[in-house]
Amino acid sequence: MSVSRSILLRTTMGLSCMVVLLLPAGLSLHASNDGAPPTQAGNGIPDLQGNWSIATQTTLERPDRYGGRLILTAEEASEIEARVQARSRAADQPGDPERDAPPPGVNVGGYNAFWMDPGDRLAVINGEVRTSIIIDPPDGRLPYNEQGRANHIAAMQMRESYDGPEVRPMGERCVVGFGSTAGPPKLPVAYNNLTQIVQTRDYVMLLAEMNHDARIIPLAGAMPDSPTHPWLGHSVGRYEGDTLVVETSHFHPQQTLRSSLRHRFYGSADMHVVERFTRVSDDVIHYQFTVTDPENYSQPWRGELPMNRSDDRLYEYACHEGNYAMPGILAGARRAEAEGEPYAPTYSGASF
């Protein structure tokens, strides 16, 4: 996607309200002459500031077609990316305004490809093209235990309920972004995949483009022993050499299911996530995470993906343009109930 089209996409998703954040007084940037990533002059911490995209065609879990392999050859990657780009071009073609309405019960679809920005490249880590974001377990699959799989299925079945707004997904209610775009862990979604990072001596802010979810992370102190469970959890950070390390727990109980079109997992309110942000070049941050949640998983699981520098700006995220869609969603369900028609499929736990 070209820069001009990407900017147009984000402009048309909402009002063009650019977020402007300034460095604190006395803080400047220093670029090394030896090719090493830049640091912030005066305190020597790694410079992670800027806009970074996590958009990628690589999925959280490894598809079966890769036979368990983590790494693709350059030729395989080129063929896959070419197919993705061809599908995107085909989906961009205008529809026929004279076409007949679909028959009852047929999904009419949602956004066309113009509104999507999922990236057209697979994730590359240390020069290796990856088949999944998950790297451990080695098979690239979520290591659910029996209870975790049951929790996941129950959450997906509730997601298909339309009894009221309280049971609808958080992204649909404009509470937090879809999927896990703000994290932790941070995962790409269909659009709005930018993250703006701002650093001061005492805090780091991670601002997700989707829903403008902001994590303001203190760089001192231990994880609070708090009875509260805020959206996006409690986070504390520290620097280990050239890496920002962020630990998060105490998640909101309604944020257990993280679900998007191609990435989905379940985590308890006591899930513990460790993230590592390492700027490996001027244009790339190596993002790594470890999820520990004994209630739902038989072992901790780890993933990684690149955060690529972007010159695109962040614009206002006008979620549902006033949330006018929610009354329509619920009204459709009430109509289906009145007519005695089923409106919610039952989730069976099938792979996705």
- CA–CA distance, 317 with 312 (Å, rounded to integer): 14
Residue 10 amino acid letter: R
pLDDT of 107 above 80: no
Which of 3-12, 31-40, 108-117, 121-130 has the highest mean predicted lDDT (pLDDT)?
121-130
Poorest-pLDDT segment among 37-46, 92-101, 145-154, 174-183: 37-46
Q: Kindly state the average pLDDT of the residues 299-323.
A: 87
Residue bearing the bigger pLDDT, 92 or 301: 301
With beta carbons less than 8 A apart as the criterion, state whether 250 and 234 touch: yes
Please give the share of the chain, as a percent, with pLDDT higher than 90.
Answer: 46
- CA–CA distance, 248 with 180 (Å, rounded to integer): 14
- CA–CA distance, 159 with 148 (Å, rounded to integer): 16
**pLDDT (0 to 100) of residue 351:** 42
pLDDT of 147 above 70: yes
Residues 6+ apart with CB under 8 A from 347: 153, 156, 157, 159, 160
Q: Do the strands 134-136 and 214-218 form a parallel or antiparallel pair, or are they unpaired?
A: unpaired
Across the chain, mean pLDDT equals: 82
Beta strands in the chain (DSSP E): 28-30, 39-41, 50-53, 71-72, 124-125, 128-130, 134-136, 194-199, 203-208, 214-218, 234-240, 243-249, 257-259, 264-266, 272-279, 284-292, 301-309
- CA–CA distance, 332 with 162 (Å, rounded to integer): 9
The CA–CA distances, whole Å, from 91 to 20, 80, 145 equal 34, 17, 39
In which band, very low, low, confident or very high, does the pLDDT at 346 lie, cut at 50, 70 and 90? low
Poorest-pLDDT segment among 93-102, 177-186, 299-308: 93-102
pLDDT of 43 above 80: no
**pLDDT (0 to 100) of residue 206:** 97
Q: Kindly state the average pLDDT of the residues 255-270.
A: 90
pLDDT of 20 above 70: no
Torsion on CA atoms 313, 319, 173, 297, rounded to nearest 10: -20
In which band, very low, low, confident or very high, does the pLDDT at 40 lie, cut at 50, 70 and 90? low
Residue 271: exposed, middle, or buried by beta-carbon count in 10 A (0-12, 13-18, 19+)? buried
- CA–CA distance, 129 with 116 (Å, rounded to integer): 23
In which band, very low, low, confident or very high, does the pLDDT at 323 lie, cut at 50, 70 and 90? low
Please give the share of the chain, as a percent, with pLDDT higher than 70.
Answer: 82
Torsion angles phi and psi, residue 84, rounded to 5: -60, -45
Closest C-alpha among 115, 112, 133, 136 to residue 124: 133
Strand order in the sheet with 128-130: 71-72, 128-130, 124-125
pLDDT of 350 above 50: no
The structure tokens listed for 283 are 């244009």
Read off the pLDDT of residues 49-68 as tens digits, 9 standing for 90 and up: 999 999 998 999 999 988 89
Q: Do the strands 264-266 and 272-279 form a parallel or antiparallel pair, or are they unpaired?
A: unpaired
Residue bearing the bigger pLDDT, 33 or 86: 86
Residue recorded with tokens 């079966």: 64
* Model-wide pTM > 0.85: no
Q: Kindly state the average pLDDT of the residues 257-280.
A: 93
**pLDDT (0 to 100) of residue 3:** 35
pLDDT of 238 above 50: yes
**pLDDT (0 to 100) of residue 4:** 33
